[in-house]
């Protein structure tokens, strides 16, 4: 039986080849994919007519046929894997409507290679804009939560050991800063995807005098992608977007791990409403923070997709091949969809996280997290070196711990005993001043340097991040509007020829 797409091949594609290679990606030909295919073909037809490469009546028939396919929806296209991919299936349906001779004229000056590369960049562009919008909403939720907790004092941890007092608002401000960088990475991909491969043909361009600038403009690209080989052979905009998504997932996983730890019975520092938790089929007392576990798992899945994509592409030739442009990046698209779906869940987590302010402050008062402030006070008021102060306070902490005490038992008497042991001197230090140095609220307020924990400093940081968020949202909205304007121009050109 004759091959469905080429007379070069004398046999029908083997069922095993069709089922394994061609069928899976064709099953993903949904409404958005159809719209991208229709727009691409409309832009090419308009350009061909404008350059005199096809007659006006042929362009009219093509555009009417494309309009019919758009109205029918993807279900009307025969996605038989014998067609190899969705483009040939689309062309087959166009031939049924407009006639094979007319449909075949649409392929002047292009190849399946540059069509696929352009469709992928269009999909990356749409995905980037959607992810940026979700990220902006998530950043906003994080900033608002940070603002609610600027005064909620809690222990800050290093190596998961109490380190210095911070606030929950300060912690979330840092998370928001990380999200801002992840947003930058996503936006950078959008910039690099903004070049149109259409017209590169198979890899070397075409001898037909096409107008690539016109096609790029009609599809909302900044210009044509050049040179042609790189334009069709590279999918680094896909792998770069996957890297950006994976980086964000790693950030979210680390934050989820912190919150997960804080919600344990042993910490008991953070709680969530029951609607944000799961339970057990056998243990009636259980409240399991499944959403936080989800983010830890998603980071792993995204890392796996990225490693798989890079591993597949790295062995390919620098040209068109299944491993370089399709199979190699196949796992990226589901990763993007999962990331987009997860962002509203992260917003819910940020909006509903409730710290136990009383318990957290009490822990700061008991866990020696103000020891650095005590050492700093000795340096300022008594002129000793910080290293000597560090040794004195470290010895004092050890002495209190040896008796089973907490930070409240570190008195001037204990401090002077430690000082005599370490540096051979005592301090004329009022107990009230010692207690002030060891007050976690005062410790938080004292850090007024840029990036510090003082409430006014954190508020200023949040204000700056809110301003940056507004600017980012404005830039995304402008890009979206530009695409809408390009689509409107294309629709106008199509209507003028078709009607």
pLDDT digits (tens, 9 = 90+) for 122-165: 999 999 999 999 999 999 999 999 999 999 999 999 999 999 99
Angle between helical axes of 290-314 and 236-263 (0-180°, round to 10): 150
| Confidence at 343, pLDDT banded by 50, 70, 90 | very high
Residues in contact with 127: Cβ distance below 8 Å, sequence separation at least 6, in sequence order? 241, 336, 340
What's the pLDDT at 1?
Answer: 52
Whole-angstrom distance, CA of residue 26 vs CA of residue 489: 30
| Confidence at 54, pLDDT banded by 50, 70, 90 | very high
| The pair of three-digit structure tokens given for residue 435, joined into one six-digit string | 């207690």
Mean pLDDT computed over 287-293: 96
Residue 187 clears pLDDT 60, i.e. is over it = yes
What's the pLDDT at 371?
Answer: 97
Compute and round to an integer the Cα radius of gyration of the chain: 31
Pair type for strands 161-167 and 270-271: unpaired
Whole-angstrom distance, CA of residue 464 vs CA of residue 468: 6
What's the pLDDT at 377?
Answer: 97
Largest CA distance in the chain: 101
Q: What pLDDT, in 10s, does the model give residues 396-408?
A: 999 999 999 999 9
Share of the chain above pLDDT 90, in %: 90
Mean pLDDT computed over 50-58: 97
What's the pLDDT at 68?
Answer: 97
110 burial level (CB within 10 Å; 0-12, 13-18, 19+): buried
Q: Minimal CA–CA distance to 130: which of 187, 182, 195?
A: 187
Q: Minimal CA–CA distance to 262: which of 162, 176, 401?
A: 162
| The pair of three-digit structure tokens given for residue 101, joined into one six-digit string | 């001779």
Mean pLDDT computed over 280-295: 94
What's the pLDDT at 494?
Answer: 98
C-beta separation of 38 from 70 below 8 A: yes
Bridge partners, 196 (sequence order): 224
| Confidence at 11, pLDDT banded by 50, 70, 90 | confident
What's the pLDDT at 28?
Answer: 84
SS3 at position 437:
helix
H or E element that contains 163: strand 161-167
SS3 at position 155:
strand
Residue 9 clears pLDDT 90, i.e. is over it = no
Residue 104 clears pLDDT 90, i.e. is over it = yes
Rounded to the nearest angstrom, the gap between the alpha carbon of residue 234 and the centroid of all alpha carbons in its chain is 21
Higher pLDDT, 5 or 474: 474
Higher pLDDT, 21 or 199: 199
What's the pLDDT at 23?
Answer: 86
Mean pLDDT computed over 229-258: 97
| Confidence at 10, pLDDT banded by 50, 70, 90 | confident
Q: What pLDDT, in 10s, does the model give residues 441-472?
A: 999 999 999 999 999 999 999 999 999 999 99
What's the pLDDT at 169?
Answer: 98
Least trusted range by pLDDT, from 72-81, 148-157, 475-484: 72-81
What's the pLDDT at 79?
Answer: 87
Residue 429 clears pLDDT 80, i.e. is over it = yes
SS3 at position 167:
strand
Count of other CB atoms within 10 angstroms of residue 146? 25
409 burial level (CB within 10 Å; 0-12, 13-18, 19+): middle
Taken in order 226, 227, 232, 237, the sign of the CA dihedral is negative
Mean pLDDT computed over 258-280: 96
Whole-angstrom distance, CA of residue 80 vs CA of residue 181: 44
What's the pLDDT at 25?
Answer: 87
SS3 at position 278:
strand
Mean pLDDT computed over 113-127: 97
Whole-angstrom distance, CA of residue 347 vs CA of residue 134: 9
Residue 7 clears pLDDT 80, i.e. is over it = no
């Amino acid at each position: 039986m004759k091959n469905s797409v080429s007379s070069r091949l004398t046999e029908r594609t083997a069922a095993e080849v069709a089922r394994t290679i061609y069928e899976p990606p064709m099953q993903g030909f949904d409404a958005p994919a159809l719209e991208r295919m229709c727009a691409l073909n409309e832009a090419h037809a308009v350009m061909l007519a404008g350059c005199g490469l096809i007659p006006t009546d042929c362009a009219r028939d093509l555009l009417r046929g494309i309009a019919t396919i758009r109205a029918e929806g993807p279900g009307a296209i025969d996605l038989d894997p014998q067609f190899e991919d969705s483009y040939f299936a689309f062309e087959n349906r166009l031939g049924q409507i407009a006639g094979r001779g007319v449909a075949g004229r649409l392929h002047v000056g292009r190849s399946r290679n540059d069509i696929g590369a352009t469709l992928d960049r269009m999909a990356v562009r749409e995905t980037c804009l959607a992810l940026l919008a979700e990220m902006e909403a998530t950043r906003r939720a994080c900033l608002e939560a940070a603002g609610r907790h600027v005064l909620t004092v809690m222990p800050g941890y290093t190596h998961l050991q109490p380190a210095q007092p911070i606030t929950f608002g300060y912690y979330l401000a840092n998370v928001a800063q990380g999200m801002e960088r992840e947003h930058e990475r996503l936006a950078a991909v959008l910039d690099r995807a903004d070049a149109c491969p259409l017209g590169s043909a198979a890899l070397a361009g075409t001898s037909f005098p096409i107008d690539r600038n016109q096609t790029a403009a009609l599809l909302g690209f900044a210009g044509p992608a050049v040179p042609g080989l790189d334009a069709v052979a590279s999918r680094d905009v896909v792998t770069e977007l996957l890297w950006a998504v994976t980086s964000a997932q790693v950030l979210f996983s680390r934050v989820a791990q912190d919150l997960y730890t804080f919600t344990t019975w042993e910490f008991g520092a953070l709680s969530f409403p029951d609607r944000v938790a799961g339970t057990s089929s056998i243990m009636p007392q259980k409240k399991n923070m499944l959403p936080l576990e989800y983010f830890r798992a998603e980071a792993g899945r995204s890392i796996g997709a990225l490693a798989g994509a890079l591993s597949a592409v790295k062995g390919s030739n620098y040209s068109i091949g299944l491993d370089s442009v399709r199979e190699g990046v196949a796992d990226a698209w589901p990763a993007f969809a999962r990331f987009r779906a997860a962002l509203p869940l992260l917003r819910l987590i940020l909006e509903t996280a409730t710290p136990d302010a009383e318990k957290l402050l009490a822990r700061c008062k008991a866990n020696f997290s103000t020891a650095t402030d005590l050492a700093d006070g000795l340096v300022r008021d008594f002129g000793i070196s910080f290293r000597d102060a560090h040794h004195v306070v470290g010895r004092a902490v050890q002495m209190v711990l040896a008796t089973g005490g907490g930070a409240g038992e570190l008195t001037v008497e204990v401090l002077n005993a430690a000082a005599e042991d370490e540096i051979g001197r005592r301090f004329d230090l009022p107990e009230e001043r010692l207690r002030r140095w060891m007050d976690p609220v005062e410790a938080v307020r004292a850090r007024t340097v840029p990036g510090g924990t003082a409430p006014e400093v954190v508020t200023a940081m949040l204000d700056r991040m809110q301003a940056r968020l507004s600017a980012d949202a404005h830039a995304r909205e402008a890009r979206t509007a530009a695409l809408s304007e390009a689509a409107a121009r294309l629709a106008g050109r199509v209507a003028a020829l078709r009607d």
